[in-house]
Amino acid sequence: MNPLRIERPETLAAALALLMNENTRPLAGGTDLLIERRRAPFAADETWVALSDLRELKEIEIKDGFWHIGPLVTHAELAKHKQLRHVASFLPEGASLVGSPQIREQGTIGGNIANAASCADTVPPLIALNAELAYQSVKRKRRVALSDFFLAPYKTILQHDELITDIYFPSPPPTARTSFLKLGRRQALAISRVSVAVLVTGNDVLDDVRISVGSALPRYGRLSEAEDIVKNLPPSQERFKQAGRAGSAEVIHTAGRRWSTDYKEPVLTALISRALCIACDIPWK
């Protein structure tokens, strides 16, 4: 068996230079990478580029009305971030439901995004926040809307020599309220079977409504038909149920009917309407 080499660059420039070589992979917390590579033998010159010393990728800050989250921020750090809990609680909530305490201490938001599983728990909230990514190689720097970053489950537009360097989104308005619901096979250490993230703004009338789902669509996205049912109207449980049915139908229309549809259809209907009720602080029955 070939030995695996691990490089630990001290600067972003050095990390990017290492990634120019074939058979290199960025290593963040390793919670996905180690699982992915545990069966296949390593290539002769396979090298993992550990990002752990790149302090500039570990910050959370607000600048000019935008939140910036470094890709190396761990789920545990996100989950306990007080200010984020205040302005966009569904993102820390999503992070707090990832795996187990050990996985949350180790796993990062950048790894969660780059791995591109359809059940990634930080992605639906980020899509609802209209998040964008900055990513770069030695040769160029680019930006992309997170919704355009994913091509298919486990496939993104990222080239092998590129690193995500920033995850950012506009600070939600003061009236914004959010919710995140995840349904797994069990209470702890559960991968999402379906998840729903909701952001609403406005009080008497909902002037903006964003609903995004995980483990449901071929590519991450929002449910615009469900959003339109509740937008520019006062919050009401009846209308939220209608939006739940429309959202579920929208998912089936996009993803097609498959073996899991009989299960997911009523579950999505309920999760969407319940997530809307929670965000608007009205009872769900």
Ligand X SMILES: Cc1cc2nc3c(=O)[nH]c(=O)nc-3n(C[C@H](O)[C@H](O)[C@H](O)COP(=O)(O)OP(=O)(O)OC[C@H]3O[C@@H](n4cnc5c(N)ncnc54)[C@H](O)[C@@H]3O)c2cc1C
Which residues are within 8 A (CB) of 244 and not within 5 positions of it... i.e. 6 or more apart? 226, 268, 269, 270, 271, 272, 273, 274, 276
Give strand pairing partners of 170.
Answer: 66
CB 80 within 8 A of CB 40: no
Q: Which is nearer to ligand X, 50 or 249 (CB)?
A: 50
Per-residue contact flags (x/-) with ligand X for residues 21 to 60, judged by CB under 6 A:
----xxxxxxxxx-x-------------------------
Distances (CA, A) of 3 to 41, 42, 47, 239: 9, 7, 9, 59
> Considering the complex, what minimum distance in angstroms separates the CB of residue 265 from ligand X?
23
By CB under 6 A, tell whether 111 contacts ligand X. yes
Q: Which of residues 9, 71, 124, 247 is near ligand X by CB under 6 A?
A: 71
Tokens linked to 8: 């630990």
Degrees to nearest 5, angle at CA 47 with 73 and 157: 60
Collect all residues with Cβ–Cβ distance below 8 Å to 97 and sequence separation of at least 6. 121, 180, 182
| 167 or 246: CB nearest ligand X | 167
Q: Does 164 bind ligand X (CB under 6 A)?
A: yes
Position 110 contacts ligand X (CB under 6 A): yes
**Residue of this chain nearest to ligand X (CB atom):** 111
Residues that bind ligand X (rule: CB under 6 A) add up to a total of 30
Chain positions contacting ligand X, by CB under 6 A: 25-33, 35, 71, 98-99, 103, 106-108, 110-112, 114-115, 119-121, 158, 163-164, 189, 191
